[in-house]
Chains A and B, each alone.
Chain A
Amino acid sequence: MTVSVSWYLILGAILFTIGVVGLLVRRNVLIMLMCIELMLNASNLTFVSFARQHQDVGGQADVFFVLVVAAAEVVVGLAIIVSIFRKRLGATADDLSSMKG
């Protein structure tokens, strides 16, 4: 028995779910960013699996673009986090509550 494509899809779904749950329950902004990365990489895995299934190189090329976007998002995210929390003690999402209503 070989490891079929659906195994990778299930793994991707699990990773994506971990990312979603982590984003929802964790309060540290850096870890929330990591969870977004996890979700994007789960999508990448799904892309590659489907590309393998279709014998199509297009899906693998898409992974490049997603990777780049993920990196850009991290760079901007880190920059914003650093600029905010330079004067604060911890990087916790609950502290960010000056706006309500």
Chain B
Amino acid sequence: MLAAQTLALPKISYWAIAPEAILIGGALLMLAMSATIRSKIDPVIFSIITFVTSLASIGAGVILYINVLKHGKYLAIDGALSVDGFGIIVGMAVGVAIAIFALSSEGFLSREGWDGPELLALGLLSGTGAELMAMANDLIMIFLALEILSIALYVLAGMDGRRTASGEAAIKYLILGGFSSAIFVYGIAFVYGTTGSTNLAQIAAFFATNLLAHDGLFLVGMTLVLIGFAFKVAAVPFHVWSPDVYQGAPTPATSFMASVAKLGAFAALLRVFLSAFISYKQDWQPLVFGVAIATLLLGAFGGLVQNNVKRMLAYSSISHAGFILLGLVVGAELGAQRVVLYLIAYTFIVMGAFSVITVVGGKGDNGHDISNYRGLARQHPYLSGSLALFLMAQAGVPFTVGFVAKFGVLSALASSGGVGSYTLVVVALVSSVISAFYYLRIVVVTYSSPVGIGAIEPEPLAESTHVASELESFNVDELSMEYSPLKVAVDYDIEEIERALDESPLEDPIGKVPLSSTIAISISATATVVLGVFPGILFALVSHATFLF
């Protein structure tokens, strides 16, 4: 049948996929190196390759961006990719996140003694999915990119074989992620069935000229697609996986989930609902409205009762997801631009915060209880100071980029004047204030006295941490019975012990902060402050973040 006629080959613009191709190339290069070179390769080399790859990807994005500014937006790869400001800017933010991830992973890999390139290679592949998602203009393309992003993340979550929590996180993420993917693709099937295409441009064109007599099937499909996205961005009521997965996954992987996965998913969510499904805005807006309110409130209240810093940040990222959904409620071009602004700001803040947490976690990646942060300021003023900065930025304190982001979304919402938009603004502000409590709690703990007497920490709620704090309150003699080293130590000269006690009154579980982590934290901190003080840069950038349609 087909062989008789000549094929019309799609025109492939390789420039359009250059940022993604570079990332895949970097990942394959690392795997090939690890396969062919017999001797052990220092993780520093892999980190450098990842860093350079991400910079090259950003560079390709910049070239693409300039090209778009000069010659306008265009469709590439037979309409599957939309090369426009929105996609390219989000893609570059993904590149930045990968660069910071590469830096903060270097210290992690050296500390934990992981010598393989898996963590970084999977990070690059996952980032490829996020960049593709930001540019994808076809529902199936979005689905594929989403899976490239997610499947790599499932493995990343389960990479830490020493902690059972890591494997548990991977299973939970896999099952719920697979569930959401299946719902998503079933929704795509219905959209395809009713509109006759999976291409966003063609769907938009279909609705411009046609009116569905019976749109029940389409509404089902649209809702299923929205649910699939809501799972990926951890919006209430589809957020339950996120605290567990954030806690269990290795910390660099967690930072990846919090930044890159959300960048990709939100970009695709906005593109689908603001371009293809815009004519059904009356139908999806109330849904998004409700989800946004629930997400904002649960993100704020859920974090209050946590004692694990990674769990707190999971709830914090849920609350941020609520803010970003507000941009979707605003709709149209302004909403999309403010969302991009929020995403860029969020990338820097969250990557910075997780870079600090990676370092504080200590060897074994276990020290994420809030008690581990007590007295951090005394030993590592730089770490605690930058952590305070990032957390304040998340709370939306002025002169940080977090304030700019929240202000951008809320002002757009208030000026949109839609039904209930002021209610949403009030809910968002309340959520912001409540979540500031748990940000402040971490900050206060880092600046409190190192030893646990008179600590500010409230009674822990979780069972495991409860036991942990009981153990902590034991006195030295009682506890050291647990450790046989005491018997060995008795043989030593008592003066030697006293001298050792004087020299290090408190063992520092963190040790020397790796240079790469310091660089990662510095980059994030600089961006947080500079973009916060000069928000004009960001607003100018995102004014070009428009869709092709």
Contacts and interface: CB of A to CB of B under 8 A. Distances in A.
Interface string B489-515: 000000000000000000000000000
Given A50-B189, A98-B168, A80 B155 contact: yes
A40 B172 contact: no
B56 interface: no
Q: Please indicate which of the listed interface residues B169, B178, B244 has the most CB atoms of chain A within 10 Å of its own CB.
A: B178
A98 B462 contact: no
Contact of B193 (A46, A73, A79): A46
Q: Is the interface of A mostly helix, strand, loop or mixed?
A: helix
Interface in B215-250: 243-244, 247-248
Given A76-B154, A99-B168, A99-B169, A59 B181 contact: no
B247 A99 contact: yes
Contacts of B464: 98
A36 B175 contact: yes
A99 B161 contact: no
B158 A83 contact: yes
Nearest to A48: B189
Given A23-B179, A80-B158, A98 B165 contact: yes
Interface in A70-99: 72-73, 76-77, 79-81, 83-84, 93, 96, 98-99
B476 interface: no
Contact of A16 (B154, B186, B307): B186
B248 A99 contact: yes
Given A47-B189, A50-B193, A101 B305 contact: yes
Given A39-B186, A40-B185, A58-B198, A23 B175 contact: yes
Contacts of A53: 193
A38 to B, nearest CB: 9
A43 B462 CA distance: 40
Q: Please indicate which of the listed interface residues A23, A54, A77, A99 has the most CB atoms of chain B within 10 Å of its own CB.
A: A99
B311 interface: yes
B154 A80 contact: yes
A46 B189 contact: yes
A84 B56 CA distance: 37
A69 interface: yes
A92 to B, nearest CB: 11
Interface residues of A, number: 41
Contacts of A66: 143, 185
A12 B190 CA distance: 11
A19 B182 contact: yes
A43 B178 contact: no
Contact of A99 (B140, B170, B182, B244): B244
B115 interface: no
A30 B20 CA distance: 33
B52 interface: no
A18 interface: no
Contact of B161 (A69, A77, A83): A83
A19 B186 CA distance: 12
B243 to A, nearest CB: 7
Given A36-B182, A66-B143, 14 more contacts: A36-B179, A39-B179, A40-B181, A43-B186, A46-B190, A50-B192, A50-B193, A62-B198, A69-B144, A73-B181, A77-B178, A98-B164, A98-B165, A101-B306
7 tightest A-B contacts by CB?
A: A39-B182, A50-B193, A84-B167, A46-B189, A101-B462, A36-B178, A43-B186
Interface of A: 9, 12, 16, 19, 23, 29, 32-33, 36, 39-40, 42-43, 46-47, 49-50, 53-54, 56, 58-59, 62, 65-66, 69, 72-73, 76-77, 79-81, 83-84, 93, 96, 98-101
17 contacts: A9-B193, A16-B182, A29-B171, A29-B175, A40-B185, A42-B186, A43-B189, A47-B189, A54-B193, A69-B151, A80-B154, A83-B158, A84-B164, A84-B167, A93-B175, A99-B168, A101-B305
